[in-house]
Structure 1
Amino acid sequence: MIKAQPFDFPYDGKLDPATTALIVIDMQRDFLSTDGYFARQGYDPSPLRAILPTVSKLIDGCRTAGIRIVHTRQGYRADLADMTPYEKWRRKRSGLEGTDVLLRSSPGFEIVPEIDVRAEDIIVDKTCNGAFTYTDFEHVLRAQGITHLLFTGVTTDVCVHTTLREACDRNFQCLTITDACASGDQYAHEAALHMVTVENGVFGTLSDSTAVLDAIARITRR
């Protein structure tokens, strides 16, 4: 089991690599670069970049243990056919109209090179904050027999938390890794993590990368 709060993960003590996936949310250039979407909104991407070494260690450890790696990427079609009038209005209001920011055809859509993405990894592309909305994410997880999810990525308060909530409502067992998630707003980051543990773990559990890697290493040594 992984030492976690408010209870150890998973609740039944059955940590099985075959049914577990590491979810790496939106580690894209548009969020982590100094000239991407996130920076253009006035946020400092350095807290997001700071988690890169930790996320990389988790990816390596999970791969060694036989845990599947699932990456998500957020962005719209190049022709904007999947963008609603409200989303276009927000895009214009943010000064992004006419740019290639958050478009799947742009370099900013790609995962940053510091993250090791391999052919065997699963990639889920999305337009919404939550990875389950209008995607095949749930179908892929069910098809792979995955029931337990370890959450990392950006941002803690938006895409990570939205996907986490969606996963919990679909009865996946969820653990959020506190030092492998980040936000440009520290208050929002801390609040999002706190909300996981309310009502005795309404959105699953919290742990840090050290505890997760220790548990995974024990599995690997078996």
Structure 2
Amino acid sequence: MNKHPLDWKNRHRSFYYADAEIPDLQVDWHHTALLVIDIQNVYLEESPPENADKSVDNVWADFRSRLLHQVIPNAKTLLHFFRAKKFPVFFARIACLTEDGRDRSLSQKRPGFNNILLPFMSDEAQIVDDLKPLHSEIVVTKTTDSAITGTNLSLIFRNMEIRQVVVCGIFTDQCVSSTVRSLADESFDVILIEDACAAATEELHERELEIINNIYCQVILLDELMLLID
């Protein structure tokens, strides 16, 4: 579905903000960073991640299609822009420091989809080649959903005088949402690029965008962000 630029103020507007006057979006590029969340090799596998319900193969096929044909290309565009401007780029990834995963948080050990064992050095835990971090870019490893509560990332942001964070990655309703909420709670201004994110289903993706928009972040399209370039 085509979404006309400049519609971001009315897209994903929940009941809570039905009558709110949404201010114009401004980006202070010299105090803004890009954060790419959990776009890792494991999610490109042809079969559902280990411990996922094998009866929903079509769901994961659709997800991989969105990941390959929308999320990764748009994240790559964001990377090219931030790198060309020499603006800071950060990555977060899920990986455990022990082979058996005993260092993972409780949410990562519960039965079901979250219970994916990703040892730190395994190929499955690495960021996909199309988005491979440069040696100068910071990668944080987390054993939690949030890239903030599970790392020293917020301290690094403050040390680097970063006040605004552009976020993309997966999964919209899990690690992305948890990170966005944590950033907002620590008073960072967050912009979430909706077409550079994905949840397992489009329904979950859209629902979560409505929930977090206008309170924890501003949800916009990649093209809308590009319109804000000076």
Q: Which TM-score bucket, shorter chain as reference?
A: 0.7 to 0.9
SS at match of 2:141: strand
CA–CA distance in 2 between the matches of 1:209 and 1:39? Answer: 33
Q: Any conservation in 2 of the 1:56–1:116 contact (CA below 8 Å)?
A: no
CA–CA distance in 1 between the matches of 2:47 and 2:158? Answer: 37
Deviates more, 1:60-69 or 1:30-39: 30-39
The aligned residue for residue 162 of structure 2 is 146
1:109 pairs with 2:130 = no
Deviates more, 1:38-47 or 1:201-210: 38-47
The residue identity in structure 1 corresponding to 2:227 is D
> Deviation at 1:88?
4.4
The aligned residue for residue 61 of structure 1 is 81
SS at match of 1:7: coil
> Deviation at 1:105?
2.5
The aligned residue for residue 17 of structure 2 is none
Once the two structures are superposed, what CA deviation does each residue of 1:60-106 show, in whole Å capped at 9, x if it has no partner? 0122223211111002123334136775463xx66x7xxx8422131
Q: Which of 85, 104, 110 is equivalent to 1:83?
A: 104
Aligned pairs (5 A) from 1:1-222:
4-5=8-9, 6-10=22-26, 15-35=27-47, 37=49, 40-41=52-53, 42=56, 43-44=60-61, 45-50=64-69, 51-79=71-99, 80-83=101-104, 87-88=108-109, 90=111, 101-197=117-213, 201-216=214-229, 218=230
Aligned length in residues: 204
Query: TM-score, normalized by length of structure 1?
Result: 0.81
Structure 2: runs of 5 or more not aligned: 10-21
User: What's the % identity of the aligned pairs?
Assistant: 24
CA–CA distance in 2 between the matches of 1:186 and 1:89? Answer: 24
Relative distance call for 1:60 and 1:193 in structure 2 (3 A) is: same
CA–CA distance in 2 between the matches of 1:61 and 1:142? Answer: 22
CA–CA distance in 1 between the matches of 2:136 and 2:39? Answer: 18
The residue identity in structure 1 corresponding to 2:190 is C
Q: Any conservation in 1 of the 2:146–2:182 contact (CA below 8 Å)?
A: yes
Structure 1: runs of 5 or more not aligned: none
SS at match of 2:157: helix
SS at match of 2:129: coil
> Deviation at 1:36?
6.5
SS at match of 2:227: helix
Provide runs of 4+ in structure 1 moved above 4 Å: 38-42, 84-89
Relative distance call for 1:131 and 1:180 in structure 2 (3 A) is: same
The residue identity in structure 2 corresponding to 1:82 is D
Once the two structures are superposed, what CA deviation does each residue of 1:17-40 show, in whole Å capped at 9, x if it has no partner? 221011101010112332463795
The residue identity in structure 2 corresponding to 1:83 is R
CA–CA distance in 2 between the matches of 1:86 and 1:179? Answer: 26
The residue identity in structure 2 corresponding to 1:165 is R
CA–CA distance in 1 between the matches of 2:77 and 2:88? Answer: 14
Once the two structures are superposed, what CA deviation does each residue of 1:89-131 show, in whole Å capped at 9, x if it has no partner? 63xx66x7xxx84221310000011114211211111011100
Q: Any conservation in 1 of the 2:146–2:179 contact (CA below 8 Å)?
A: yes
Once the two structures are superposed, what CA deviation does each residue of 1:130-183 show, in whole Å capped at 9, x if it has no partner? 001231111111111111011101111111011000000000001111111111
Q: Any conservation in 1 of the 2:105–2:143 contact (CA below 8 Å)?
A: no
